[in-house]
Structure 1
Amino acid sequence: METVFSTVSHTTYRSLYLNVFRNHLLEYSLHPVGNYVVQHFMRNLEDSVLKEQVVGELVNTIEDILAVGHFGVVDALTAVTIGLSEIYQKKVVNSLLKAFHLQESSKFKYTVPCVLRLLTFEMYSSEDGSTETTTYFGASILMNAFKLQQNAVEPLIQSLLTMEPDEILALCKDPHGSFVMEAFLTSRIDLPRKKKIYKRVKNQLARLAMDKYGSRVLEAIWASADIAFKEFIADSLLGEEQQISSNMYGKIVMKKCNIDFYKRKKTAWLEKQEANQKKQELFKDILEETPDSSDSKLVQNKRKRAETPLADEIDKLFTSKRKTRNSAVSQRSTSQNPKIKEEDLALREELSSVDPFALDMKLTIKNIKKKNKKLKREKPSKKFIMS
């Protein structure tokens, strides 16, 4: 089934949903094996109508699915929501908050830590809750969430912005948390919100640059920052150039930020950054194409392919080629031998409806027999007679 999802047409995919999955998604999601099938089914969805139906069927069951430990289903569900309207996105985010017992606005600040560790508010608030390790699926769910519209993920944004500088630093240096921070910094969330994160890490830039995971977050900050903060980053890194350059990850950061060029020609470096920023703004509309529009194009293209099945296309192709070949053979034979016998024409008409290759073979054999008879009647040349 998992292989079928990536190969079938749009029409067949819809039939699978109507005949197999509709009204059974929760049942399969709770099954120890069936939940993997549901995950692949959702990850291969392209039709926005089907996405809305799937989200509508599972949105209120997230807590039940998390309770049995099938986190991949929730991850796939949040990924499906990316291309939908804000109404569906808000429903999924609210259902997530409810599943982790964070519905009240006073608990929003715990959203990112709880989801990242896949712990409810009560479990996280216990003595050992905050020391629990982060999880892959928790990070993936948050990464998908930060691809939604800003209004839909307001509780998650508030959770990040209320963290202390030390907590932000720990999140940036965490194997899973660093991906969450990258997703936030590269999202479509407005720049003033991101600047609040910049301020919390501005005194820790050297530590980030020399960390395996923190260096990736610093690169994301660099990519999303304005020229003023990029200049601040360059000054901070240049202040600890020797220490950072001796670090394996620090070298990469120094090269990507072009600190050596900044050190030698600051004015030219600033002009280059301004030119790059203008290019980004110029192509902003193209780079930030909405998921809805790209999804609709995929669906339309797939729908067009589905309207003409592949088997029919192949049959039409061979039929047209067969007709073309038959006419070509007929014209060639007639032009080469205007006095073609009536029996050859009858044979051609009989075989043309079956196979053009059989026609060629039959006529070729007949011509060879005629040539052999002609050769037998001719006397051999003296030149080849043995003495």
Structure 2
Amino acid sequence: MEYMSSCSSSPGVSPLLVFLKDQAASRLIEKVIQLSHKALLRDIFKNHLKGHLVDLALHPIANFVIQRLTAATAKYKMFVRLFDELLEGVEAILAAGHMGVIVQMAESCAENGERQDELMRCLLSAFHCDEPGSRHTSCLPLFLSLLTYEVYYHSDTAEGGIDTQALITTSSDKGRGKILKRLEGQFVPMACSRSGSRALEAIWNSASVTHRQNIAEELAPSESQLRSDQFARHVWAKFALSHFTHRRAHWHEIQTGESKKRKMFSDILE
């Protein structure tokens, strides 16, 4: 750790920040943090990471180090300062899909005995269920699905504190599967609202053929309702649900072809 923090870097910037974004080095730093005593943890936070926590929590590699640091400092007073800095970026962290950071913040709050109320208020605000108070009882499915109140409960409010489409498209296949599971039985009303149809299309664009078929099977029986709705009719056309209803094999062939193309381009970009 001493070697990493002593390497040359830009003036006023800790060189440790560079190592945190390197896959191999970050794993070593995670282990060091896990085994560190209070004084070293304080030094890492105060002299190297303070003021950079949110940026690091948004990074695809460095966010795991922040999770480890949040866990390691939970039993010390410094946790409150670390937590307060991370709290400012909760919505951005959610939008990045780094739920591990949020979960660790919650676990460390419980262990430390501080800031539970602040975190809950922040999450309620981020998911748009802070006001009116009657929405508080509706927060659990929002936390589980990572959707705002308006999207989950099918309001036509398009704006949200969380970029729902970003959450969906950056989630892993397993994560998208969980979102779909939570939304089963809700696809028709989603398709019939402005924000819900957008979220549904975002799910569709990154869904596997199996997931698309599950969505189509739920939507197809409501053909009359969907084709007559100003928002849902676009969903009906984009998802090729007429083909799904009348030419299932051809529909499946088209979806499989699109899936292969997405994978091919993804492999090229990687």
Q: Within the alignment, does 1:225 sit opposite 2:210 as a pair?
A: no
Alpha-carbon offset, residue 266 of structure 1: 1.3
User: If the length of structure 1 is used for normalisation, what is the TM-score?
Assistant: 0.40
User: 2:148 touches 2:161 (CA, 8 Å); kept in 1?
Assistant: no
Alpha-carbon displacement from aligned partner over 1:8-45 (angstroms, at most 9, x marks no partner): xxxxxxx9x63xxx37xxxxxxxxxxxxxxxxxxxxxx
Give the aligned partner of residue 239 of structure 2.
257
Q: Determine the C-alpha separation between the residues in 1 that align with 2:118 and 2:154.
A: 19
Alpha-carbon offset, residue 197 of structure 1: 1.3
User: 1:234 touches 1:262 (CA, 8 Å); kept in 2?
Assistant: yes
Q: Within the alignment, does 1:60 sit opposite 2:50 as a pair?
A: yes
User: 2:191 touches 2:197 (CA, 8 Å); kept in 1?
Assistant: yes
Give the aligned partner of residue 175 of structure 1.
158
Q: Determine the C-alpha separation between the residues in 1 that align with 2:212 and 2:82.
A: 35
Q: Determine the C-alpha separation between the residues in 1 that align with 2:211 and 2:160.
A: 23
Q: Determine the C-alpha separation between the residues in 2 that align with 1:88 and 1:283.
A: 31
What secondary structure does 1:196 align onto?
Answer: helix
User: 1:208 touches 1:215 (CA, 8 Å); kept in 2?
Assistant: yes
User: 1:209 touches 1:253 (CA, 8 Å); kept in 2?
Assistant: yes
Alpha-carbon offset, residue 56 of structure 1: 8.7
What secondary structure does 1:248 align onto?
Answer: coil
Give the aligned partner of residue 205 of structure 1.
187
Aligned counterpart in structure 1 of residue 119 of structure 2, from 121, 143, 159: 121
Alpha-carbon offset, residue 270 of structure 1: 0.5
Matched AA of 2:220: L
Unmatched 5+ stretches in structure 2: 1-8, 22-44, 72-78, 88-101, 133-140
- Bigger-Rg structure (1/2): 1
What secondary structure does 1:132 align onto?
Answer: coil
Q: Determine the C-alpha separation between the residues in 2 that align with 1:172 and 1:93.
A: 36
1:142-161 map, 5 Å: 160-161=143-144
Q: Determine the C-alpha separation between the residues in 2 that align with 1:103 and 1:226.
A: 32
Say if 1:194 and 1:172 are closer, same or farther in 2 by CA, change over 3 A.
farther
Give the aligned partner of residue 234 of structure 1.
216
Alpha-carbon offset, residue 225 of structure 1: 2.2
User: RMSD of the TM alignment (CA)?
Assistant: 4.8
Q: Determine the C-alpha separation between the residues in 1 that align with 2:108 and 2:46.
A: 27
Unmatched 5+ stretches in structure 1: 1-14, 24-47, 64-73, 109-113, 134-157, 290-387
Q: Determine the C-alpha separation between the residues in 2 that align with 1:90 and 1:173.
A: 35
What secondary structure does 1:247 align onto?
Answer: coil
Q: Determine the C-alpha separation between the residues in 2 that align with 1:266 and 1:278.
A: 18
Alpha-carbon displacement from aligned partner over 1:113-164 (angstroms, at most 9, x marks no partner): x9xxxx92364699xx94338xxxxxxxxxxxxxxxxxxxxxxxx9843779
Give the aligned partner of residue 132 of structure 1.
131
Q: Determine the C-alpha separation between the residues in 1 that align with 2:118 and 2:212.
A: 38
Aligned counterpart in structure 1 of residue 225 of structure 2, from 239, 243, 250: 243
Q: Within the alignment, does 1:285 sit opposite 2:267 as a pair?
A: yes
User: 1:210 touches 1:249 (CA, 8 Å); kept in 2?
Assistant: yes
Q: Determine the C-alpha separation between the residues in 1 that align with 2:46 and 2:265.
A: 36
Give the aligned partner of residue 83 of structure 2.
98
Q: Determine the C-alpha separation between the residues in 2 that align with 1:78 and 1:177.
A: 24
User: 1:210 touches 1:250 (CA, 8 Å); kept in 2?
Assistant: yes
Say if 1:183 and 1:92 are closer, same or farther in 2 by CA, change over 3 A.
farther
What secondary structure does 1:103 align onto?
Answer: helix
Matched AA of 2:131: E
Alpha-carbon displacement from aligned partner over 1:166-222 (angstroms, at most 9, x marks no partner): 8971388653448533222211x4322321210111101011111111111101211
Matched AA of 1:132: E
Say if 1:104 and 1:87 are closer, same or farther in 2 by CA, change over 3 A.
closer
What secondary structure does 2:237 align onto?
Answer: helix
Alpha-carbon displacement from aligned partner over 1:29-69 (angstroms, at most 9, x marks no partner): xxxxxxxxxxxxxxxxxxx84997xx997843489xxxxxx
How many residues align structurally?
A: 197
Q: Determine the C-alpha separation between the residues in 2 that align with 1:229 and 1:257.
A: 12
% identical aligned pairs: 24
User: 1:82 touches 1:89 (CA, 8 Å); kept in 2?
Assistant: no
Matched AA of 1:222: W
Matched AA of 1:186: T
Q: Determine the C-alpha separation between the residues in 2 that align with 1:242 and 1:56.
A: 61
